[in-house]
Amino acid sequence: MINPTTNNDTVSNHPAWLAEIKFDDQGLIPAISQDATTNQILMVAWMNAESLMETAQTGRAVFWSRSRKKLWRKGEESGHVQRVIEMRLDCDADVVLLKVEQIGGIACHTGRASCFYRRLDQTGGTSQWIATDPVLKDPELIYK
14 touches 96 (CB < 8 A) = no
Please say if the pLDDT value at position 134 is more than 70.
yes
Residue 138 annotated in ligand binding: no
Residue 35 annotated in ligand binding: no
CA 83 – CA 73 distance, rounded (Å): 11
Residue 115 annotated in ligand binding: yes
Residue 9 annotated in ligand binding: no
Please say if the pLDDT value at position 1 is more than 60.
no
What is the architecture, at CATH level 2, of domain 10-135?
Roll (3.10)
pLDDT value at position 2?
A: 53
Note the pLDDT tens digit of each residue in 91-112.
Answer: 999 999 999 999 999 999 999 9
Question: What's this model's pTM, rounded to 2 decimal places?
Answer: 0.87
Q: Among the residues of 33-85, which ranges form H helices?
A: 49-58
End-to-end CA distance of the chain: 30
Band (6; pLDDT cuts 50, 70, 90) = very low
Q: What is the mean pLDDT of residues 10-25?
A: 83
Q: How many CB atoms lie within 10 A of CB 107?
A: 26
Longest dimension (CA), the chain: 60
